[in-house]
Amino acid sequence: MNEPVHMVDEELIRSCLSGDRNAQKVLFDKYTRRMMGICMRYAPSREEAEDMLQEGWIKVFRNLHSFRFEGSAEGWIKRIMVNTCLETLRKNKKMANQVELDDVYESVYTEINSADFMSAKELLKLIHKLPSGYRTVFNLFAIEGYSHKEIAAMLSITENTSKSQYSRARMHLQRMLLLENA
Amino acid sequence: MREQNIEKLFKDTFSNFEADVNPSVWSNIEQGLPASPQHIPGSSPVAKPSGFFGKISLNTIVLVAAISATIIGTTLYFSSQKPTSQNILAQQVQAQPQVMKDNSIAVSKAAPVTSLSNAPVGGSKNVAEKQTAAKAKEKVYLNQPPRQAPSEAKTENVSNANSVQVSVEKPSSPEPVNVVAPQHTSSSLQKMAIENNQQQASKTSALPSVENPVATAAPSNKVPATHEATPGSEEQFHFFVPNVFTPNGDGLNDNLKPVSNYNVKEYELTIFDRYGFEIFKSKDIDFSWDGKLKNGEEATEAVYVYIIKLVDFNDEEHNYMGYVALLK
């Protein structure tokens, strides 16, 4: 099932490499919505997510020659996106280890519609309410599926920090969800 | 309970999550990418050098090749035949006294005679023979060492000889061109040689770059034109102080910079903290507040008060007071 997709991607990327602007656009159109979804999870706002997306795509096209056609193109692009997001967050000094704001929590409980089913949009809202550091670790661990060890290396924090940030984030989300469904 | 399902909930929701993308993102990306290299391959019709440049480059390459061959030939010849060269010269001078009136004629006449270029050099020497035969001999000697700098008259002769040779000896090797030609030739010839080098280089690296100078020259000529079209002539003085700045070292709004549309004659900015203590003062509009206290420490995130007194270009006094938020 995956085979033809990869074949298509491979051809696409080869024409991108030869500098075909149209092929670049096709590749962009194919994955950009999904990548935007990733950026939205990491960025505190839509504007910043768009900046990350843009930055990430430029990196993708600049480094396309280093794609080895081994894994899926999407996975490769996704990894670049996530790294771009982390880099941007680091640049903006909104990184994990700086967040220790237990007071922020209160504002978190407002304006969530109570419904058993929660749309991605609403969950995204919850994610955005997390402090940036929690959000980053939660994204990396729960959704991207990195290990705490990997996360520690990526964010240059200790493994324990990653674990504690994650459990706090999780607790946080849980409380929000409970409150939501109460 | 939900506890175990949080990861699942989020993972399921977001593993294929998509979000709308602003269409402007692509155009921004396009700008961030290097210009489309579609035209680089030589097979593209665009890459073909247009007639004039193509001819020039071909001709000049041949020219340089011929020049170098001539110079090498002459130096080799004269260094190997010092004693006899004078006699030969003298003979040639007598044999062809009127040849040098026209170089092209000289070529056509001299070409069949020589395979290794002594006749054209001799022919060029004919010009010099209008002075004295003895001097001509001296010049011949002077030309022997390849690296000796020639005088004005000599360089003329050499360049004549070279230009004469060009159309004669096309199939000579282009290798030594870059080394020999500039040392022996007059300035105009050097220029040509340099042009040749450039064109050779561009020819070997990428064909379209022959055309590129034209393509890039055109837009750069247009740029000033757009700049000229903005002479604002309103006499109103405007002054603007941002109400927030972010001295976090990211290069964006790191300083509090008031902006005015005209130069100010006098200027004084004072910043106070919320207790009314003066923490910054500047008398130069270009010396803006970087968010540091007088002792060099960074001011905390807060709202500060500024008072600005200035005299504008009309000698009118203005006082501004307001609040600025410092964020990091």
Residue numbers in B near A174 (CB within 8 A): 2-3, 6
Q: What CATH number does the domain located at B239-326 have?
A: 2.60.40
ipTM: 0.70
- Chain B CB contacts of A16 under 8 Å are none
For residue B22, which residues of chain A lie inside 8 Å, CB to CB?
Answer: 50
* Each residue's pLDDT tens digit, A48-76: 899 999 999 999 998 888 888 888 888 89
User: Which residues, 6 or more positions from B75, have their beta carbon under 8 angstroms from its beta carbon?
Assistant: B143, B144, B145, B146
Hey, what are A73's tokens? 């193109």
Residue B325 pLDDT: 92
List the beta strands (DSSP E) in B202-265.
239-240, 244-245, 259-260
* Chain B: closest CA distance from residue A156 (Å): 20
- To the nearest 10 degrees (0 to 180), the angle between helices B6-14 and A120-129 is 120
Determine whether the interchain pair A54/B3 forms a contact, defined as Cβ–Cβ distance below 8 Å: no
Q: Please give the C-alpha separations between residue B288 and each of B185, B275, B308, B323, in angstroms, as whole numbers.
A: 58, 21, 12, 15
pLDDT digits (tens, 9 = 90+) for B190-221: 555 555 555 554 444 444 444 444 444 444 44
Domains observed in chain A: 2-91 (1.10.1740.10), 96-181 (1.10.10.10)
Q: Name the residue of chain B whose CA is nearest to A74's CA.
A: B16
Amino acid at A71: G
Residue B218: the pLDDT is 42
- For B31-66, the pLDDT digits (tens) are 877 765 544 343 334 334 444 444 455 566 667 677
Identify all chain A residues contacting B30, using CB atoms and an 8 Å cutoff. Answer: 21
C-alpha distances (whole Å) from B24 to each of A53, A54, B29, B33, B247 are 12, 10, 9, 15, 29
User: Looking at this protein, which amino acid is placed at residue A178?
Assistant: L
Domain boundaries, chain B: 50-210, 239-326
Q: Say yes or no for a CB contact (<8 Å) between B17 and A41.
A: yes
Confidence of residue B149 (pLDDT cuts 50, 70, 90): very low
pLDDT at B189 over 70: no
- Considering Cα of A159, then A160, then A165, then A167, what sign does the dihedral take? positive
Mean pLDDT value across chain B = 63
> What pLDDT sits at residue B36?
56
Residue B133 has pLDDT above 70, yes or no: no
Nearest to B122 by CA among B149, B83, B95: B95
Chain B: nearest CA to A88, how far in angstroms? 11
**At residue B170, does pLDDT exceed 80?**
no
Chain A: residue nearest B25 by CA?
Answer: A54
Chain A interface, best mutation among B2, B9, B12, B14, by max A CB count within 10 A: B14
Question: What pLDDT is attached to residue A150?
Answer: 92
DSSP string, B256-301: B--EESS--SEEEEEEE-TTS-EEEEESSTTS-B-SB-TTSPBPPS
Is B72 or B40 the better-scoring residue by pLDDT?
A: B72
Q: Show the tokens assigned to B281.
A: 């003062």
Minimum-distance CB partner of A142 among B10, B18, B36: B10
pLDDT exceeds cutoff 90 at B128: no
